[in-house]
Structure 1
Amino acid sequence: MDEERIRTELRQRLAALEEEDVASAGARAVVELDQSSTGRLSRMDAMQHQAMAQAQQRRRAGERLRLKAALARLEEGEYGYCTDCGEEIAAGRLAADPAIARCADCTRGV
């Protein structure tokens, strides 16, 4: 396992999430009530876009936690081992998602 490559990939993913947060800050802002320039339907549409942007931000926050936890496991020498049972996680699973924390059996509840 190339720990430095994995560490770099995890950090790049974290940086991309930060960029997305900055880029979507305006979309998450409070929708102001201004009946003179925005009709009721336009405001409802803006509120729906705001709610979607907020949901995406929450998803990014969860992904950020997963990535930071994977980096911590790398530092502790626990990376690549299931956080539930301690067995080694299959290389294919780690290749598909370097932040994965559980083996296939524990994920399925076996």
Structure 2
Amino acid sequence: MSEEARERLLARRRALEEEQRLDEEGRKPVTLDQESVGRLSRMDALQVQAMAQALDRRREQEKLRIDAALRRIEEGDYGFCLECGEAIAEKRLEHDPAATHCIGCAR
């Protein structure tokens, strides 16, 4: 179970890193040169940049969750609720291998 989870976690982490690499263009600073970019285009570029940065922050948070799950696998604590210590349902871990809480404590 934990080896399968480990592989899924590593695959998801690689996918997140690839998404970040592909989205680098959207996070670049917006040029303020009004002659090359109109005001509305610049505003649109700023909005795209803000959305890309927010998405990047969410990806970083997910990578931290994945890293924590990988540590729990290495330490032998994977699959147990951090709140109550009970086993997390297998179906829950299949859905989200980085889950940290059982369904009762996650509410």
TM-score (norm 1): 0.94
User: Matches of residues 21-32 of structure 1 in structure 2 within 5 Å?
Assistant: 21-32=20-31
1:78 match: 77
CA RMSD of aligned residues (A): 0.7
2:60 match: 61
Structure 1 residue matching 2:27: 3-state secondary structure: coil
CA distance in 1, matches of 2:92, 2:4: 16
2:86 match: 87
2:2 match: 3
Which AA in structure 2 matches 1:95? E
Worse overlay, 15-24 or 45-54: 15-24
Match status 1:100 vs 2:99: yes
Structure 2 residue matching 1:71: 3-state secondary structure: helix
Structure 1 unaligned segments of length 5 or more: list them: none
TM-score (norm 2): 0.97
1:12 match: 11
The Cα of 1:101 is off from its aligned counterpart by 0.4
CA distance in 1, matches of 2:13, 2:97: 12
Q: Give the fraction of aligned pairs with identical amino acids, expressed as a percent.
A: 55
CA distance in 2, matches of 1:104, 1:78: 17
2:44 match: 45
Which AA in structure 2 matches 1:48? Q
Superposition misfits of 4+ residues, deviation over 2 angstroms = none
Structure 2 residue matching 1:27: 3-state secondary structure: helix
